[in-house]
Structure 1
Amino acid sequence: MKLLPQFALSTVCAAVLISPMAFAQNAAIVNGKSIPKSQLDRLVQKSGQPTNDPQVREKAREVLITRELIIQEANNRGLTQKEAVKDKIEQSRIGILVAAVFEDFVEREGVTEAELKAAYASIQADYTGKEYQVKHILVEKESEANALIAKIKAGASFADMAKQNSKDPGSAPNGGDLGWVGDKSLVPEFSKAMVALNKGQMTDKPVKSQFGWHIIRVDDVRDAKAPPMDEIKAELKQILTADENWQKAKFSEMMQKLRAKAKVQ
């Protein structure tokens, strides 16, 4: 039997050792081009799905392979050297940078305290009328609702009946409690019945809505008022930054500041 030369044997051993390591560090190798595992990890993280789910990771891996195949094919066909393609790539790059710079500007200095106060003043007008601290029990059938009303009138706890029978997953665990609500925040049938009740009063008959049959009880009533500005600053900022006119004015302001400190010859 002919023995391999020592250097050849070393080369084979090195290849055997290196190959598994390469695959351990990479998500895939496409036509010799490595896709790092870190790139796969970032993609899975951004998806918001479980990072250790094999199916999620395999789908993400396929996305990366598809991207790499497209890039390689574009290069092979010489498409990335075409001026029209270069222009479009550059336009996309600039668009991304413009959006990123503007977003950072807004985050750092775009929304002023005066603007927040003005936005707060504008929404205060929306807080008119009354607010109701209300509980309800939602069931599928009118007969079931009538039976529960009879039990509550006979002394059964409204909260217990809600926990045991209500089909509303949001309020049932809390004894049917919906918290403080305005009449415009609920479906019309519910609101009409709610505003007709006095403090501590329950509907004598079930109320029909698109969701089923409701038993409604009002625990308290108060004048509606806006929450303190400090509590809703994040929401106010969202309202402002979503307004197109505000965006245009702020972008103009940002560009003026950039030009003012720039040396343009």
Structure 2
Amino acid sequence: MRGWGVMAVAALWGGCSEPPAQDIVARIGEQKIWASSFEEQGQRLLAGAFHHVETVDDEVRRQLLDIVMSKELLLQEARHRGLEAPDQSELAQFEAQLLRRELFTTSVHQPVTVTDAGIDSLGRAEDWDQEIRFRHIMLSSTTAARKVVGQLRQGTDFSILAANRSTHRPTARRGGDMGWVPVPEMLPGAMAALEGLAPGQIHMEPVATPFGVHVFQLTGRRRVEPAAHRLTLQTLYEIRQHQAQVERFLDSLSVAEDLRCGSVGTDPVCVWGHGQMTTADLDSYLRYELRSSPTNAQRESQRLEAARRMLATSQARRLGLDRSPGVQDKVEQRRTEFLGARIEAEETRDAAVTEAQIQTYYDDHPEEYGARPSALIREILVSHADTARVVRMRLDEGEDAEALAIRYNERISTRERRGHIRIVLRDNAKLGLVAPLALDGQVGEIHGPVEVPGGYAVFIIEDRQPLPRRSLASARLSIATILRVRERNRIMNALIDSLTSAAADRLIIYEDVLATTLTRVVPPEETSRRSVWED
């Protein structure tokens, strides 16, 4: 029974309300694994670590059940060791947040009519009509970033340094190019660094962000119609309207309950018709929201908002929303998530990576860190083989590749670059056989059609450049992270094996019930837009 790495990614630590007793897929001693709970957790796995699975057969069900049972064994072990539940204050704040969300969703939010005028107005007000294109080199320290700046001053090509030194591998492979990014999605530090630059200029002072230390180069600015971001703005418009509805509700509730607040330092800080907020209550709320101890200035500025939120929580409890199975399940899920994290932390606290291991990994992966070729291609990806053959024929007849890319290319990530891709690694899941053909070919060669994920590719090799060996110093942090995760997974898998062996005589699987589960793979809900930095 294995799968700690999968479990950690899938975030399976969760409880479910108890269904009828006949629907049990397995037992571990007295602990039952209900079919409904297994179905819920299995669907989360199928949407995550098992997303490649198209059909769920008996073998896949057993793999998923092994993971769920491993989780249960770990929870039992955590309780056996006496590991504590999360801080009750934090758990109470988490429940309060759930209650407010349930209250707002069921009693406050009204349907929103999205209009073109509303989207256009919001887009212009929040700068969605402005986009910036830039390149960056991300490093692990300011010292490393200053060395890169020194090389840039000496004339080293930015794209070569990005490919060789940047720790942000998705953009390193493109010479550091981030593509066109809407202004609202820019990190404040990056925006400040690029604001005063003209296209082509490099900000020669390293900039620290939550992701690392960067050297930035501005490559372009442009204005677009807000409608270019319609889907994002439609969601944002609905969020803004719902926020306004909530503010009006809180205003009305505060008046109805006669909410009054005094200065910080007096207790209670705020009072209303059915309750009060003490300094301890305020600090508990702010610690949860800020993830740090609040200052007096923060207490003073946020005491009224904290009281309004507490008042909404009280209203939710009066309506009985705290007895909702959905709320109770999520609170229990948070509790068990904490126990899972506690046992992992306790078990892996001595996990270490040696310099010798880092060196060995570095030496064993020359395709990632050694001197290697790179190729710049102009690729045209199309959905149908017949169209690809037409594109190839036109290239062979001498038509301009850039013009053909503008007309035909369907790869969204390269459309703005008119099909340009800088290829460094042979193993590229998105490009398939295109990568090795480009790296082994010569400038001017035309290849394709080549079947790749998403369709058929035709491309021409426009440039080849050797990339120097990536230094161990620049790769050390990423290698250490890889090895540390592997070591933690090894330790946790060993623990799971031990627990499984010890519990062998207490494990029962009900194959007939298991076979009735996961008969339909539920498509995952559309997730929120990811940060451009989180590739």
TM-score by length of 1: 0.50
Task: Indicate the structure (1 or 2) with the bigger Cα radius of gyration.
Answer: 1
TM-score by length of 2: 0.28
> Larger RCO: Structure 1 or Structure 2 (Cα < 8 Å, ≥ 6 residues apart)?
2
Greater per-residue helix proportion: 1
